[in-house]
Amino acid sequence: MTAIPPDLPMRALFDAQFQASRAQIDVPLAVRRDRLRRIRALIDVHGPALAEAVQADFGVRSTRLTEVADFFVLRSLIGDLERHTGAWMKSRRVHTPIYLQPASAHIQRQPLGVVGVIGPWNYPLQLTLGPTATALAAGNRVMLKPSELTPRTSGLLATLLHQSFAADEVCVVQGGADVAHDFACLPFDHLFFTGSTAVGRKVAAAAAANLTPTTLELGGKSPCIVDASADLDAVAIKIAHGKLLNAGQTCIAPDYLLLPQGREADFERAFVAAVARLFPGGAAHPDYASIVTERHHARLAGLVEDARSHGARVVEVAPRGGSGHARQMTPVLVFGLRSDASLMREEIFGPVLPVLTYTALDEAMDIINAGPRPLALYWFGTDTASRDRVLTGTVSGGVTVNDTLMHIAHERLPFGGVGESGWGAYHGETGFLRFTQQKPVLVQSRWAAAGLFYPPYGAAFDRVMGLLRRWL
Ligand code: NAD
């Protein structure tokens, strides 16, 4: 299929993509559609094998979880791109102000060129193929660096992409942090990174050396506020689902809970019942994912131990018993946590839910506003005045009201972070534009009066400026 072997050194692959992108700057709709079709076919034909690879990489990771959390989201994203790319790639005529008339003006939408995509391991298909498909729809070439922590998935993805695309259209570079660093140093036209805030800083620094613009889809501590007006029995299952999907290894999982003081016992009871409904028999359930590596598992266990040793009350919810996988970590609730505990200083990224309490809503909002701006925020309740106070009084990457996670699945909502949870957003037209140069074009008219502004400045110039002062 490809004239350029995909196993060339990454700089040579970049050069090939660069040449190809400059040789075909105007990428027709048919070419973009065909590339999207190939991504869709890859999922349709090889979805089961890819889901098996994810399962093997994790230890326990239900293929149905991959179906909903990776493929369903991807199909929705690709379908949206297929439907709208034709309209989105068209130039936009814009109104021309009176002092420039009769000139005309439009914004021409063009591909950027070569886009680099660096992906994480937690949803290793959605978060690699999603940005790849979006960049392709916008007419770009893509170099992808998937995570080394899901080697089977990344390896299969590379094989399949190299079977479906010429290496100067899409190619995959595999490896760990050293390879990733070299990858981030390539002079891409745009670098799209999904991963931790700590690595995001390194990516931004590497890209800055080339003045490569970046999108950083990072992590952080996403709060979940339960309002006094909320029905705890109804909300607990939504919180448990958002927290325990992929065993908490979800960038927008609720990281910690803010609960009205005095409701702790009720919430604990409702949460335990909700987990029993989601995972009958406890953490050994095959739909409950394992923690990705022993290192990640040990870090989480250490965070819980640190909280316990500082006097917090740790409630083990639905233990695994003797069965299941050793890394299927028992979900825990943590009450009475000190604000300086490690659990409150770093993103948890696992099935551990600290429950903080508040007496007045301002107190809850102060806790949120004192920290870095979160990737997501969740609010539960029926008191709309209280809801609106939270919406206007906090800044986050995104919000779902009365549920968790769901804003990521809405293609009309830009998805991304703010501040330490990242910058730039994608999904839908926002994503298309992230990978598009919006080139302003002014077409001057032969009847233009621009000469009125030329020197030497005299009385005519003063009259024109006087008129404009009144108009503008
Ligand atoms: P990570 O930052 O450890 O790794 C992500 C990718 O970066 C990997 O491919 C890795 O090889 C690469 N990398 C490592 N060192 C690098 C360097 N010096 N330069 C360039 N790239 C480098 O993240 P992870 O552990 O794979 O994923 C978990 C993190 O990702 C969590 O913080 C989570 O919140 C975040 N995340 C964010 C989103 C989002 O959409 N905002 C989605 C998923 C995960």
Q: Which residues make beta-bridge pairs with 423?
A: 216
Average pLDDT, the chain: 96
Rounded to the nearest angstrom, the distance between the alpha carbon of 241 and the centre of ligand 1 is 23
Using alpha carbons, select from 71, 185, 205, 85 the residue that is nearest to residue 135.
85
Q: Token digits for 308?
A: 């316990």
* DSSP-derived secondary structure letter, 91: -
Q: Token digits for 173?
A: 């570079």
Q: What is the pLDDT of residue 451?
A: 86
Q: Would the CB of 119 count as within 6 Å of ligand 1?
A: yes
Q: Would the CB of 205 count as within 6 Å of ligand 1?
A: no
| Ligand 1 nearest atom to the CA of residue 176, by list position | 11
Using alpha carbons, select from 339, 332, 317, 392 the residue that is nearest to residue 361.
392
- Give mean pLDDT, residues 60-73: 97
Q: What is the pLDDT of residue 339?
A: 79
Q: Would the CB of 422 count as within 6 Å of ligand 1?
A: yes
State whether the Cα torsion 77-150-181-22 is positive or negative. Answer: negative
* DSSP-derived secondary structure letter, 115: E
Q: What is the pLDDT of residue 449?
A: 84
Q: Which residues make beta-bridge pairs with 161?
A: none
pLDDT reading at 271 higher than 80: yes
Q: Would the CB of 70 count as within 6 Å of ligand 1?
A: no
| Ligand 1 nearest atom to the CA of residue 118, by list position | 9
User: Percentage of residues in the chain with pLDDT exceeding 70?
Assistant: 100
Write the pLDDT tens digit of every residue in 433-450.
999 999 999 999 999 888
Of 4-8, 319-323, 363-367, the range with the lowest mean pLDDT is 319-323
Q: What is the pLDDT of residue 450?
A: 82
Q: SS3 of 163, please?
A: helix
- Give helix then strand counts, H and E, for the chain: 16, 18
Name the residue at shortest CA distance from atom 6 of ligand 1.
120
Q: Which residues make beta-bridge pairs with 105?
A: 94, 442
Rounded to the nearest angstrom, the distance between the alpha carbon of 201 and the centre of ligand 1 is 11
Q: Tell me phi and psi for residue 97, to 5 degrees.
A: -65, 160
Q: Work out whether strand 214-217 and strand 422-423 pair parallel, antiparallel, or are unpaired.
A: antiparallel
Q: Which of 125, 215, 251 to mutate for ligand 1's pocket (most ligand atoms within 8 Å of CB)?
A: 251
Q: What is the pLDDT of residue 4?
A: 86
Q: What is the pLDDT of residue 1?
A: 45
Write the pLDDT tens digit of every residue in 238-249.
999 999 999 999
Q: Token digits for 432?
A: 């298309």
Rounded to the nearest angstrom, the distance between the alpha carbon of 364 and the centre of ligand 1 is 29
Q: Which of 118, 154, 173, 293 to mutate for ligand 1's pocket (most ligand atoms within 8 Å of CB)?
A: 118
Rounded to the nearest angstrom, the distance between the alpha carbon of 118 and the centre of ligand 1 is 8
Q: Which of 196, 218, 427, 430 to mutate for ligand 1's pocket (most ligand atoms within 8 Å of CB)?
A: 196
Q: Which of 128, 147, 348 to mutate for ligand 1's pocket (most ligand atoms within 8 Å of CB)?
A: 147
- Give mean pLDDT, residues 370-390: 98
pLDDT band of 2, cuts 50, 70, 90: very low
Write the pLDDT tens digit of every residue in 32-63.
999 999 999 999 999 999 999 999 999 999 99
Name the residue at shortest CA distance from atom 1 of ligand 1.
195
- Give mean pLDDT, residues 377-395: 98
Q: Would the CB of 249 count as within 6 Å of ligand 1?
A: no
Does residue 217 carry a catalytic annotation? yes
Q: Would the CB of 164 count as within 6 Å of ligand 1?
A: no
* Residue among 185, 224, 251, 429 flagged as catalytic: 251
What CA–CA distance (Å, rounded) separates 35 from 270? 47
Write the pLDDT tens digit of every residue in 394-415.
999 999 999 999 999 999 999 9
- Give mean pLDDT, residues 132-157: 98
Alpha helices in 59-93 (DSSP H): 63-66, 73-88
Name the residue at shortest CA distance from atom 42 of ligand 1.
251
State whether the Cα torsion 170-171-175-179 is positive or negative. Answer: negative
Cα three-residue angle 165-171-410, rounded to 5 degrees: 85
Using alpha carbons, select from 256, 248, 254, 252 the residue that is nearest to residue 288.
248
Contact 280, 243 (CB under 8 A): no
pLDDT reading at 312 higher than 90: yes
* Residue among 217, 264, 268, 347 flagged as catalytic: 217
pLDDT reading at 466 higher than 90: yes
pLDDT band of 93, cuts 50, 70, 90: very high
Helices 126-137 + 73-88 axis angle, to 10: 10
Contact 440, 107 (CB under 8 A): yes
Q: Which residues contact 286 (CB under 8 A, 6 or more apart)?
A: 60, 62
| Ligand 1 nearest atom to the CA of residue 251, by list position | 34
- Give mean pLDDT, residues 118-136: 98
Name the residue at shortest CA distance from atom 31 of ligand 1.
196
